[in-house]
Amino acid sequence: MRGERVELRPTTVSLIGLVLHELAINATKHGALAGEQGHVELDWAFDGERALVVQWRERLGGGHRASPDEESHQATGAPGAGRGIVDDLVHAAGGQLDTRWHEEGLRVRMTLPMDTVVERRGEGKETA
């Protein structure tokens, strides 16, 4: 995990936590965390003064690639129940959720407007 220090509004913490939980559950069942060699990279950054951008990148590992079923599911944008709820919540907060399959795994970019999510920006970069 990498990103700048930031203090989020409590509602934003809940929203981001729910999105990450949904992604982690799916990664454990179907994605990078389903195998021993896969992993997930998570980072966040500011897009100027406009938005907070959170990025989730799965690395499948072990030569595993997204299956045609996964790719077609992604291409059609047909969400499962959890994904549909997450999409609705992000959009209700004025944000966007961009989800795409790549050969090495799922990539998700969540963009949330600064004025609705950030309590205060900190100085420096945090790495966990």
Report pTM. 0.79
Predicted confidence (pLDDT) at residue 43 exceeds the cutoff of 60: yes
Domain, as residue range, for 91: 2-127
pLDDT score for 78: 47
Amino acid symbol at 39: H
pLDDT digits (tens, 9 = 90+) for 59-77: 987 655 555 455 444 443 4
Overall domain count for the chain: 1
Quote the CA–CA distance of 24 and 66 in Å, as a whole number: 16
Predicted confidence (pLDDT) at residue 41 exceeds the cutoff of 70: yes
Higher-confidence residue of 36 and 70: namely 36
Domain of 80, CATH number, reads 3.30.565.10
Residue 71's Cβ-side half-sphere holds a number of Cα atoms within 13 Å equal to 7
pLDDT score for 76: 36
